[in-house]
Structure 1
Amino acid sequence: MAAYSARGVHGQVVQSLGARIVGGGMSEGDILDVRALGEELDVSLTVMRESLKVLAGKGLIDARQKRGTFVRERRYWNLLDADVIRWRVEGGAGEQLMRDLADVRSIVEPAAAHRAALHRSDADLDALEAALAAMGRARSASADAADADAAFHRALLAATGNEMLARMDLLLTPGLRERDRLVHSHASVDDPVPSHRAVLDAVRDGDAARAELAMLDLLAKAARDLDRLGAAADDPSPARSPRRTAG
């Protein structure tokens, strides 16, 4: 059961119910019969209660006196939570979610690259270089590739010298990981290292305008990868072996 399978029965219940809610198997306002769900999933009420606390923390459910436990309206869901993102992808909303992420990145990351070129430290450059080296070593579609990609973008945000911008990694990283998983699995795309290298070189040179343009080019390439993903989904022919993607 994906990431939660390693966390035992409690995690499996969270996975099962979370995916059901986010995927539309339960509608907003639906009342959860906790006892019946426990019997269905073959777990104790104690496990159910602890699992429901996790889902409540993600904004998916709530409990009120005289009403019981119910599915909350979507506007209360923590859409930036890594599990909620994954459940949305599993429920078929992956492409739209990735396009929403691309919009956010187009606003944040070119400006971050511009600022990083002006404020980066030697330690920031070392972190970017290390992430790029890890990206070059990683196998396509591997967890290491996703980790290296996320590390590069996290280091770039940190290089801005702005603590609030640096914390934008909490918003971007979960989506980036799902994006990597989706694109690596379905699209034949080019080596991501050159596009990331162009950003790093401009940041290293302190050339803010060039860094911003390099990030815009990287994001344009990422958008083309998503277009290939959509085309592959519509193409009934056998999929090609995936290659790495810019992220």
Structure 2
Amino acid sequence: MTPYARRGVHGQTVEFLARRILGGEIPEGATLDLVALQRELDVSLTALRESLKVLAAKGMVDARQKRGTFVRSRSDWNLLDADVLRWQIQGAGSAEADLGLLRNLAEVRAIVEPAAVRLAAERRTDADLAALEDALTAMGEDGTGAAHAVESDLAFHRALLAATHNELLERMEVVIESGLAHRDSIVHSAPHSEDPVPAHRAVLDAVRDRDPRAAEAAMRALLDQAGRDLDRIGEPEDPKGTGGR
């Protein structure tokens, strides 16, 4: 169950409207028929308006006199909001669109994480190293399933950002985690994905040694591996079972 859906009728209404907007069923510039939506969703007008306030705060809708409530241009949406990211990824609608979002994430990671890990190597504390080691240990545990693998990977990258001791970089976890969780859930459920532990171990070793250059190189190698996994996801299945790329 999604985070908003767990919040009852209000949350379910937010999720429903957001997915319709992101999926293009309610296009940019469209004016919402609140009465029709109220009937369709079987909710009170108050609950509907409260849900629209949530989407307004995320830049997705607005209300004006004489025009009513309408969908704003995508350029106005807060695309870095954790919920908006999640709605985009979970409701991409096609494998091609899904991979497009994940590749956008990969480009953001390639910009942010190599620079972040250099700072982590310079600023890390013993507590930071312990958090990274705990995450890596969890990552290497066998038989724990894809969900555990996803969470341990997220914990590692979260700890890396925290080790920069830069509050703004730490906030980048919202962007990275939303897509990384979805990417990991696909990768760790697919056959023939590469073992993530050695690449993460190389990053941790360089951070422990306070070697920024080695840490950056190790992170780039890790991201290259992530890119290969993503490319493998996008490959068409081989009907003859030859395993060709």
User: Scaled by the length of structure 2, what TM-score is found?
Assistant: 0.88
Measured on the aligned residues, the alpha-carbon RMSD in Å equals 2.1
Q: Is the 8 A contact 1:117 1:205 kept in 2?
A: yes
**Alpha-carbon distance between aligned partners in 1 of 2:61 and 2:191, rounded to the nearest angstrom:** 35
Change (3 A) 1:188 1:34: farther
| Deviation for aligned residue 1:237 | 4.8
Report the Cα distance in structure 2 between the residues aligned to 1:235 and 1:163, rounded to whole angstroms. Answer: 43
Query: Residue 115 of structure 1: CA displacement?
Result: 2.0
Q: Give the equivalent residue in structure 2 for 1:78.
A: 78
| 1:148 corresponding residue in structure 2 | 152
Distance, in Å, in 2 between the alignment partners of 1:74 and 1:210 is 40
Cα deviation, 1:146-181, whole Å, max 9, x if unaligned, reads 222122112111212333322222332222222223
Output aligned runs, 1:1-247, within 5 Å.
Answer: 2-89=2-89, 90-92=91-93, 93-137=97-141, 139-142=144-147, 144-186=148-190, 188-231=192-235, 234-235=236-237, 237=239
Deviates more, 1:7-16 or 1:21-30: 7-16
Inter-partner Cα distance in structure 2 for 1:57 and 1:182: 31
Q: Distance in 2 between matches of 1:80 and 1:21?
A: 16
CA contact (8 A) 1:117 1:204 kept: yes
Compared CA separation, residues 170 and 88, structure 1 to 2 (3 A): closer
Q: Which string of whole-angstrom CA distances, capped at 9 and with x for unpartnered residues, describes residues 108-144 of structure 1?
A: 11122222112211111111111212222373421x3
Task: Kindly provide the amino acid, as one letter, of the partner of residue 172 in structure 1.
Answer: I
> Which deviations, in whole Å up to 9, do the C-alpha atoms of 1:13-62 show, x marking residues without a partner?
11111101001111110000111101011111121111111111221111
SS at match of 2:32: coil
| 1:90-114 CA distance string (max 9 Å, x none) | 2333211111111111111112222
CA contact (8 A) 1:38 1:44 kept: yes
Cα distance per residue 1:189-216 (max 9 Å; x no partner): 1221211111001111122221111101
Change (3 A) 1:40 1:185: farther
Displacement after TM superposition at 1:186 (Å) = 4.7
| Partner Cα separation in structure 2 for residue 186 and residue 29 of structure 1 | 39
Alpha-carbon distance, 1:83 to partner = 2.5
Shift of 1:228: 0.8
Letter in 2 for 1:60: M
> Secondary structure in 2 aligned to 1:212?
helix
Shift of 1:185: 4.3
The gaps in structure 2 that reach 5 residues or longer are: none
Tell whether the 8 Å contact from 2:150 to 2:188 is kept in structure 1 after alignment. no
CA displacement at 1:187 relative to structure 2? 5.7
Aligned length: 236
- 2: CA distance between counterparts of 1:147 and 1:73? 34
Counterparts of 1:163 and 1:8, CA distance in 2: 33
Between the two proteins, what is the percent identity of the paired residues? 60
- Give the partner amino acid of 1:158: A
Looking at structure 2, the residues matched to 141 and 61 of structure 1 have their Cα atoms a distance apart, in angstroms, of 36
Partners of 1:146 and 1:65 lie apart in 2 by 46
Which consecutive unaligned segments of at least 5 residues does structure 1 have? 240-247
Determine helix, strand or coil for the equivalent of 1:2.
coil
Tell me how far apart the structure 2 counterparts of residues 33 and 41 of structure 1 sit (CA, whole Å): 12
